[in-house]
Amino acid sequence: MESSAANIGQLPKRMLILRPYPPCPSLPNTPIPYPIFSLSTRRFPAFNLSNPTCTRTRTFLCTAKSSRTQKLNTQNLQRESEPEKVEGEDEDDDRDENEFEFSARGGYRGREEEKDYDRDPEFAEILGSCLDDPQKARSKMEERLRKKRNKILQTKTGSAIPMKVTFNKFDFSNSYIWFEFYNVPLEKDITLICDTIRSWHIIGRLGGCNSMNMQLSQSQSDKRPSYDAVQGANVTPTAFYNIGDLEIQDNLARFWVDIGTREPLLLDVLINALTQLSSDIIGIKQLMFGGSEFENWKENLTSEDAGFSVHKI
């Protein structure tokens, strides 16, 4: 230990001297000024290349100038490659493009599917001879209608024989209405008959067939029509109380009604509708109001295999 202490005493003594340094300069708080584009000269001010803050701005201007040059070159190449257009074709091309774009959205198919009726040779021949020879043009028009009558006129599937209407102790509050068809009705015919009866029931239930309030039909035809709302509101209402389902057995059918109020106009509306239906769509041989029995109707027949079916009204 003594030798170690002696060695420490022989070491040279050194002193640590702290010298003050000048303070670091603080960065300015003001933002770095960027060059401002001049609207009058349409250019930026001159750059100070010795200022390092302008390096980024100079790079941006070079890039923008290069992009603009490439865009101008591309436009020039496109103009040179396009064929020369005749004056007045630009509007037609724009219209064609708009029509194509509109057809792509599904709203319009375009001009390619339109038929040019002005250039129909058959029409041109008929119209050309209309002034010179009217009789010839008329015969050609009749021939054209005769050839295309299937597309213009629809053949009737009903009966030309008028529908027979009979009454058999009809009671407005509790009776059946019977149908007799020439043939067994198809499914589409049954649907149409049900819709007709349903519409008739709705109109009657709302009081639409009230013969006590016929102001317009009873007014004089040579005068301007007028309607008295107070008079129409004070008329005794008529309502269709209840109706049953349509039952069908082969070519026979029936449905039950409870009209309640004795209203003959309601029956006239049904007869007129069924008369037109019999003439155009399905032939109705007979329509009978009232009665508990009708020809070959079987009360105990409820099997669909035997030709019985019920349809909701």
The structural domains of the chain, with segments of one domain joined by +, span 31-76, 117-152, 164-209+236-295+304-311
Q: Report how far residue 159's alpha carbon sits from residue 182's, in angstroms, rounded to the nearest whole number.
A: 8
Q: How confident is the model at residue 182 (pLDDT cuts 50, 70, 90)?
A: very high
CATH top-level class of 164-209+236-295+304-311: alpha beta
* 64-78 mean pLDDT: 62
Q: At what angle do helices 134-147 and 121-128 cross, to 10 degrees?
A: 150
pTM: 0.52
DSSP H or E stretch at residue 91: helix 89-104
Q: Is the pLDDT of residue 131 over 90?
A: no
Q: Are 184 and 303 within 8 A, CB to CB?
A: no
Q: At what angle do helices 187-205 and 264-280 cross, to 10 degrees?
A: 160
* 169-184 mean pLDDT: 94
3-state secondary structure of 79: helix
Average pLDDT score over the chain:
75
Higher pLDDT, 58 or 122: 122
List C-alpha distances in Å: 275 to 122, 168, 254, 291, 297: 41, 19, 17, 21, 23
Q: Report how far residue 128's alpha carbon sits from residue 209's, in angstroms, rounded to the nearest whole number.
A: 55
Q: Is the pLDDT of residue 299 over 80?
A: yes
Q: How confident is the model at residue 43 (pLDDT cuts 50, 70, 90)?
A: low
List C-alpha distances in Å: 244 to 92, 241, 259: 65, 11, 11
Q: Report how far residue 81's alpha carbon sits from residue 40's, in angstroms, rounded to the nearest whole number.
A: 36
Q: Report how far residue 207's alpha carbon sits from residue 285's, in angstroms, rounded to the nearest whole number.
A: 30
Q: pLDDT, tens digit, for every residue of 188-219? A: 999 999 999 999 999 999 999 998 998 988 88
Q: Are 269 and 202 within 8 A, CB to CB?
A: no
Retrieve residue 218's tokens: 């009873």
Q: Report how far residue 306's alpha carbon sits from residue 296's, in angstroms, rounded to the nearest whole number.
A: 13
State the Rg of the chain over Cα. 49
Q: Return the closest-CA partner of residue 54 out of 40, 44, 67.
A: 44
Q: Return the closest-CA partner of residue 247 out of 153, 142, 177.
A: 177
Cβ contacts of residue 146 below 8 Å, gap of 6+?
none
Q: Report how far residue 256's alpha carbon sits from residue 159's, in angstroms, rounded to the nearest whole number.
A: 26
Q: Report how far residue 243's alpha carbon sits from residue 255's, in angstroms, rounded to the nearest whole number.
A: 7
Q: Is the pLDDT of residue 251 over 80?
A: yes
Maximum separation of any 2 CA atoms in the chain, in Å: 155
* 142-164 mean pLDDT: 76
